[in-house]
Amino acid sequence: MTEPSHAVFLSYASQDAEAAQKICQALRAAGIEVWFDQSELRGGDAWDTSIRRQIKSCALFIHIDAGLAVARRAVVLDPLARDSHSALGRALYAARRYEEAVVTFSEGISLDPGDKPFYTYRGFAYYGLGDLEGARASCETKRDFPGNQWCLTVTYDKLGRHADAEAELLKLKAAYGDVMAYQYAAVYAQRGDHSKALEWLETALRLRDSCLESLKSDSLMDPIRQEPRFQEIERKLKFPD
């Protein structure tokens, strides 16, 4: 008896890897079976052969843009599902569709006003739009949450409130040390301090920081993408081409 085929094959470009991962999570949360290369391929697999076999046998082939539409559909089918709103919002943010992400995270907040990460994600979506006051207001709502303190650090810097930004950063470093190495790298990248950004990014790599999975598409890291040290870190992470 042959192994049953997966219902959906999720296709994406390398720059959309994080968005694809979030879409995969949203689809699976909605009970849809998904074939996604980052979770399905194992060491020793013949990648080309395996992928061609799955494309041939899948019930539905979805490219990333269509995948976003399906993720939206999952929210429509279960509009009270907080996790689906979160996954869709993060996928939209990773795809740099910030305006849509703001709307989605705001809907999530209306479902669960106590969910602190929603305020962080919405704050960064506002930041991506260049709406710094929107970012500040969102992330000041739950100031005790480290994600919001991180958001406020970069936002205060852009608002010219450098002393406040440094105070937030020092609080994070005192409370979490190297655990937030990736976040510190993003802060320094946004400040234009490439050297410190790369130092913290290398620390994140040494610590196997799970946030590095966002590196390929994270807009906060854009200022240092052309640095040879950054590109070497990307090579070490072996993102799909």
Question: How does residue 30 score in pLDDT terms, banded at 50, 70 and 90?
Answer: low
The model's pLDDT over 131-185, given as tens digits with 9 standing for 90+, comes to 999 999 999 999 999 999 999 999 999 999 999 999 999 999 999 999 999 999 9
The structure tokens listed for 83 are 């996790």
All structural domains of the chain: 1-80 (3.40.50.10140)
Task: Give the closest residue to 150 by CA, choosing from 131, 128, 135.
Answer: 135
Tens-digit pLDDT profile for residues 202-216: 999 999 999 998 998
Average pLDDT over residues 221-235: 94
What's the whole-model pTM score?
0.72
